[in-house]
Amino acid sequence: MWFADRAELQVGLQEDRLIVQRVGARTQRAEVIDCAPAASGPAWQPAVQALGEWLRQHKPGPVRVQVRLSGHFVRWKLLDWVAALQQPQQLQAYAQMQMRATFGPEAQGWRIVHAEPSVGDPLPVCAIDQALVQALRALEPDTQARLSGLAPYFSVAHDHWRGRIGRGACWFGVIEPTAFTLGLRHQGAWRGLRTLRLAPRGEAAWREVLPALQAQMRLASGHDAAAEALPVYLAGCTGVPSRPLVEPLVWLAPRNGQRGVDGADRMAWGI
């Protein structure tokens, strides 16, 4: 529930940029603050520090903050369905164990969450640095900004575009300036989910990695999509592709009510 006495900010965190959008000001462009990538320490630290400085400078008063995270700050894994695990505590322990097995001791410091399980389907799990959550919470006492939501940009964008995508088998990708997250959906469930770091080379970067990434995910999932011309739905915060997209690539463009939402604004709005 949202309360009228508390404003809301929608924020995008990237390695080298902070994106801030005031809710209720859709006609205004999001404010983009460049910040130098971290020479040491967590990659998210510069953007979180920039958010604290922005809040202290602008003094928005009591405000709720919804944060969308770059793929750089999120680790994904699809877990096999285990029928014997039914209780929430069992599923959480299973997710934590599998993330530690894959990523090692580093996973001890992560907040690990899983999607709602569906019988027989892979279980999507994501993890973020627990210290990132704590750093955002630490802004609350002296800025009156309360963290009301924290989610991967990929997840928020997929939820936004789900109605446009439909229920059929497809690829869904989110493009950022230096990251590309791609998922494969089939029979209503995720069959593949990966994020790749991109060199900042514009559109050439994700276009070059897409075929190899699809091939790797097909093999890992056991789903032979090679014979199917599955649509590839693309969203992201890099602006409309300047080169025409050839089928089956589909750019998810905002419709009438959101014509002015483009580029970095899309990450703030989660589209």
pLDDT at 256: 63
Cβ distance 173 to 181 under 8 Å?
A: yes
Q: Which of 23-32, 136-145, 181-190, 211-220 has the lowest mean pLDDT?
A: 23-32
Share of the chain above pLDDT 90, in %: 76
Q: What is the DSSP letter of 101?
A: H
pLDDT at 268: 95
CA–CA distance, 182 with 210 (Å, rounded to integer): 9
pLDDT at 128: 97
Q: Are strands 189-197 and 179-186 parallel, antiparallel or unpaired?
A: antiparallel
CB neighbour list of residue 11: distance below 8 Å, 6 or more residues apart:
18, 19, 20, 21, 51, 65, 66, 67, 68, 268
Q: Are strands 249-251 and 179-186 parallel, antiparallel or unpaired?
A: unpaired
Mean pLDDT, residues 34-41: 90
pLDDT at 28: 79
Average pLDDT, the chain: 90
pLDDT at 224: 65
Most confident range (mean pLDDT) of 3-17, 19-33, 86-100 is 86-100
Task: Verify cis geometry, omega within 30 degrees of 0, for the bond prior to 122.
Answer: no
- Segments of 117-169 assigned E as strands: 123-129, 145-152
- At 106 the three-state DSSP class reads helix
Amino acid at 213: L
pLDDT at 26: 55
- Predicted TM-score (pTM) above 0.85: yes
pLDDT at 4: 41
**Model confidence at 73: pLDDT above 90:** yes
Q: Which residue has the higher pLDDT, 224 or 102?
A: 102
pLDDT at 243: 83
Q: Which of 67-81, 144-158, 182-196, 218-232 has the lowest mean pLDDT?
A: 218-232
Q: What is the DSSP letter of 270?
A: T
**Model confidence at 246: pLDDT above 50:** yes
> Would the CA dihedral through 47, 146, 155, 121 be positive or negative?
positive
Cβ distance 188 to 121 under 8 Å?
A: yes
CB neighbour list of residue 190: distance below 8 Å, 6 or more residues apart:
78, 121, 122, 124, 183, 184
Q: Which of 23-32, 64-73, 127-136 has the lowest mean pLDDT?
A: 23-32
pLDDT at 65: 97
**Model confidence at 2: pLDDT above 60:** no
Q: Which of 74-88, 153-167, 234-248 has the lowest mean pLDDT?
A: 234-248
Q: Which of 47-56, 199-208, 231-240, 243-252 has the lowest mean pLDDT?
A: 199-208
Half-sphere exposure at residue 54, Cβ-oriented, CA atoms within 13 angstroms: 22
3 pLDDT tier (thresholds 50, 70, 90): very low
1 pLDDT tier (thresholds 50, 70, 90): very low
